[in-house]
Chains A and B, each alone.
Chain A
Amino acid sequence: MSDDIKKIMFTVRNAPHGTIYVYEGLEVKLIMAAYDADISVVFMDDGVYALKQGQNTDELGIKGFEKTYGVFVDYEIENVFVDKQSMEDRGMTADDLLVIGEDEDTEAPIKPKVVDASEIAAMMAEQHNIMSF
């Protein structure tokens, strides 16, 4: 049965707020999480900016999404990865990353996993389909 569950990867490569791609892409992830699919999300290039903690869009008058990312784990979106080099190229470190949920037992915050391009490339090759969001 579990062999039938398809691996679907999302790649997030756009910065947040300047365009709607990241926001509408998030809507797709939340819907798809309700289906029988093995989902992973990879943030790379300017997409890593979407994971920066402390975003406040109040003055822009647009709905932000840091809070929604904060419940990824509750939606069973647990395989969330960040490309290490994209992050470092932009002067960000793992400390800058927002929280995507908390550990059920210890309540410790869970953050996206920082991985190398080679690990991402290997994961990409295993997917049933990859969606650019």
Chain B
Amino acid sequence: MKLAVCIYEGPYNHEASDSAYHFIKAAIDKGHEIRGIFFYHDGVYNVTKLMEPPQDDRHIANRWSELGATGIDIVVCIAAAKRRGIVDDVLVDNVRISGLGQLTMMAIEADRMVTFGD
């Protein structure tokens, strides 16, 4: 089944990003296709390479980048990103900035959409 996941909150501050990650890993393990991951609202902060968490903590941006490297389309909303100072230069690899049209296509094309936020 094709699944799409939306994430609305920033990393570390809120559990949403972790919940989404664990959900996506479990979905992949079960053989589902991840049609796309979309970051909106403060969620856009999840994929900045400027973050530098302590060594003994999870690196949230790298975790998303690794998922992106497997071919999953990870999209950061351009309007939400620009508003918050997130631009191409600060993004981790395997993630792209694009418009809300991408979210629309995910909502239409995915069999299920699951949202994690506050």
Residues of A within 8 A of B (CB): 6, 8, 20-21, 24, 27-28, 31-32, 35-37, 128-132
Q: Which of A28, A129, A132 contacts B117 (CB 8 A)?
A: A132
User: Which residues of B have CB within 8 Å of A37?
Assistant: 104, 107-108
User: Which residues of B have CB within 8 Å of A21?
Assistant: 8, 41, 118
User: Which residues of B have CB within 8 Å of A129?
Assistant: 4, 107-108, 110, 112-113
Known: A6-B108, A132-B115. A31 touches B99 (CB 8 A): yes
Known: A131-B6, A132-B115. A32 touches B79 (CB 8 A): no
| Nearest CB of chain B from residue A22's CB, rounded to whole Å | 11
Q: What is the total number of residues of chain B having a CB less than 8 Å from a CB of chain A?
A: 21
Q: Is the CB of B113 within 8 A of A32?
A: no
A128 to B101, CA, bound (A): 17
Sample (5) of A-B pairs whose CB atoms are under 8 Å apart: A6-B107, A24-B80, A31-B100, A129-B110, A132-B117
| Nearest CB of chain B from residue A33's CB, rounded to whole Å | 9
Beyond A28-B103, A129-B110, A131-B107, 5 extra complex contacts between A and B, CB < 8 Å: A31-B99, A32-B104, A35-B104, A129-B4, A129-B113
User: Which residues of B have CB within 8 Å of A31?
Assistant: 99-101, 103-104
Q: Tell me, yes or no, whether B45 is within 8 Å of chain A by CB.
A: no
In the A-B complex, the 8 residue pairs with the smallest Cβ-Cβ separation, listed nearest first, are: A31-B100, A129-B113, A32-B104, A35-B104, A129-B107, A6-B108, A132-B115, A8-B107
Q: Tell me, yes or no, whether B40 is within 8 Å of chain A by CB.
A: yes
Q: Which of A35, A131, A132 contacts B101 (CB 8 A)?
A: A35
Is chain A's interface secondary structure helix, strand, loop, or mixed overall?
Answer: mixed
Q: Which of B6, B41, B103, B112 has the most CB of A within 10 A?
A: B41
Q: Which of B105, B113, B118 contacts A131 (CB 8 A)?
A: B113
User: Which residues of A have CB within 8 Å of B107?
Assistant: 6, 8, 32, 37, 128-129, 131
